[in-house]
């Protein structure tokens, strides 16, 4: 076998992840487009969102009840004169100008609290007596009222550029009148599968051939992470053809290769990249599945020319491809999508059954997270290793096993990466 084309740089998982995060902080999205608010979930803001008026715009009652002067309720029960009724959206000229001592106005949730009143008593603690109401409980000053501007002042920045829009952010945009939003265009992510044995999904595979599944799992992950997948033709395990397709892929904002990064004689991806003057940040991570994962950058071939294009060589075993995308490619894609950087965090669940492991590598093993409410538990899926798509399709998470653990007892807390 020929000597490896590049010096090998194999990093512990956390170090490799931080290397990617460091590079991801150096990239940004520039092109933007305007989208309708309904099409904006999952998109990344390219403009700050600013409050167009105070939030709330008036002192807002949070209860149905009676607007009172809290000092009037020192001795209970107390009878107050009802001088008006204020519903949500009430016109200003129908709201009592002032609530004097001994007075009250009935008020609905979401209605403006009239001047003079400093609290709202819930209707449950009152009893109507004709023109009067008997109040049965006291309230502290300010109770059941959100003061004008307490949530945000007019002109305040509510969301920054780089925020990926979730439903609460969408609601916030709507509440300040933004029916269209300026968002970053999705980065184009080229997917280049390698391998002489790989055939197209519509082809009838020969007895030793297999269908290309990695391009499709990657496309799904790219879409989900905010990118636009660009599927290239499958590359042969032959240097020149491979290099041509890599050059094609480097025209996108990010290139993901799968397969051809292990130690086999026909694993030519690193060699082809080296011929294109790639810089390698790492050529392996101490993880399983996915140990041969490669991360680097090719100079001067970027979509806008000059800046260079980052690439990942993801191991070809289907689960290795999926896991290494999640661990390493995702933060780079998010950076290129304009998203502000974020650290990776894992959730925790109790392991259902004792399990044993080989030490030395951090493992990300397909698992099924179950339980109910606060009682989360997880079990490992029985699988045939990192090529077992059938077992992994049944899983809903990966269980994270530290490299030094030989045995984890039933009931122990383990980290879980959702998928
Ligand atoms: P490699 O990383 O090229 O050594 O491939 C490792 C294993 O993954 C081999 O069994 C390949 O046949 C399989 N594999 C590689 N690429 C794909 C793909 N695109 N779809 C499904 N399996 C693949
Ligand atoms: Mg291969």
Mutate to test the pocket of ligand 1, among 205, 215, 259, 314 (most ligand atoms within 8 A of CB): 259
Ligand that lies nearest to the alpha carbon of residue 195, given by its number in the listed order: 2
Ligand 2 centroid – CA 44 distance (Å): 35
CA dihedral over 373, 378, 379, 383, signed as positive or negative? positive
For residue 151, the 8-state DSSP code is S
Q: Is 13 helix (H, G, I), strand (E, B) or coil?
A: helix
Whose CA is closest to 105, among 88, 122, 82, 126?
82
Ligand 1 centroid – CA 319 distance (Å): 10
Ligand 2 centroid – CA 275 distance (Å): 19
- The predicted structure's pLDDT at residue 74: 96
Mean predicted confidence (pLDDT) in 124-150: 97
Whether the CB of 209 sits within 6 Å of ligand 1? no
Q: What is the pLDDT of residues 302-319, one digit of tens each?
A: 455 568 999 999 999 999
Whether the CB of 386 sits within 6 Å of ligand 1? no
Whose CA is closest to 62, among 126, 99, 108?
108
Contacts of 270 (CB under 8 A, 6+ apart): 4, 5, 6, 261, 280, 283, 294, 313
Mean predicted confidence (pLDDT) in 159-175: 98
Q: What is the pLDDT of residues 17-29, one digit of tens each?
A: 999 999 999 999 9
Q: What is the pLDDT of residues 349-364, one digit of tens each?
A: 999 999 999 999 999 9
Q: 3-state SS string over 18-81?
A: HHHHHHHCCCCCCCEEEEEHHHCCCCEECCCEECCCCECCCCEECCCEEEECHHHHCCCCEEEE
Q: Cα(84)–Cα(92) distance, rounded to whole angstroms? A: 13
Where b means 16+ CB within 10 Å and e means fewer, 156-169 reads eebbebbbbbeeeb
Whether the CB of 292 sits within 6 Å of ligand 1? no
Mutate to test the pocket of ligand 1, among 205, 316, 389 (most ligand atoms within 8 A of CB): 316
Whether a cis peptide bond, with omega within 30° of 0, leads into 77 is yes
Q: For tokens 């109770």, what's the residue?
A: 143
- Identify whether the C-beta of residue 36 lies closer than 8 Å to the C-beta of residue 180: yes
Q: What is the pLDDT of residues 195-209, one digit of tens each?
A: 999 999 999 999 999
Instruction: Kindly report whether the global pTM for this prediction surpasses the value 0.85.
Output: yes
């Amino acid at each position: 076998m020929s000597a490896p084309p590049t010096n090998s740089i194999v990093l512990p998982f956390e170090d490799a992840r931080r290397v990617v995060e460091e590079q991801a902080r150096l990239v940004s999205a520039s092109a933007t487009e305007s989208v309708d608010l309904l099409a904006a979930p999952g998109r990344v803001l390219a403009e700050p969102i600013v409050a167009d008026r105070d939030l709330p715009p008036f002192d807002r009652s949070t209860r149905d009840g009676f607007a009172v002067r809290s000092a009037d309720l020192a001795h209970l029960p107390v009878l107050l004169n009802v001088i008006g009724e204020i519903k949500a959206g009430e016109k200003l000229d129908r709201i009592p100008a002032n609530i004097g001592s001994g007075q009250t106005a009935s008020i609905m949730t979401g209605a403006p609290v009239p001047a003079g009143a400093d609290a709202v008593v819930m209707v449950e603690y009152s009893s109507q007596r004709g023109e009067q109401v008997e109040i049965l409980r006291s309230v502290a000053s300010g109770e059941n009222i959100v003061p004008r501007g307490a949530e945000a002042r007019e002109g305040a920045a509510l969301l920054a550029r780089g925020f990926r829009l979730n439903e609460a952010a969408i609601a916030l945009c709507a509440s300040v009148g933004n029916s269209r939003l300026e968002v970053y265009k999705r980065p184009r992510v080229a997917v280049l599968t390698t391998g002489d044995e790989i055939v197209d999904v519509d082809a009838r595979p020969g007895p030793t051939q297999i269908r290309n599944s990695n391009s499709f799992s990657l496309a799904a992950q790219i879409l989900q992470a905010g990118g636009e997948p660009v599927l290239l033709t499958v590359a042969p395990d032959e240097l020149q053809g491979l290099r041509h397709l890599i050059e094609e892929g480097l025209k996108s904002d990010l290139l993901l290769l799968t397969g051809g990064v292990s130690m086999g004689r026909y694993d030519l991806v690193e060699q082809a990249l080296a011929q294109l003057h790639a810089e390698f940040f790492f050529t392996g991570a101490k993880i399983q599945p996915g140990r041969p994962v490669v991360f680097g950058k090719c100079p001067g071939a970027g979509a806008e020319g000059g800046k260079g294009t980052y690439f990942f060589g993801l191991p070809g075993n289907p689960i290795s491809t999926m896991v290494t995308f999640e661990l390493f490619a995702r933060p780079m894609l998010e950076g290129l999508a304009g998203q502000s950087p974020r650290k990776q965090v894992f959730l925790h669940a109790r392991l259902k059954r004792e399990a044993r492991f080989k030490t030395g590598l951090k493992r990300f093993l397909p698992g099924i997270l179950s339980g109910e409410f606060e009682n989360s538990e997880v079990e490992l899926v029985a699988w045939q290793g990192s090529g077992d798509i059938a077992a992994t399709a049944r899983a809903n998470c990966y269980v994270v096993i530290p490299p030094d653990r030989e045995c984890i007892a039933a009931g122990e807390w383990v980290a879980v990466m959702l998928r």
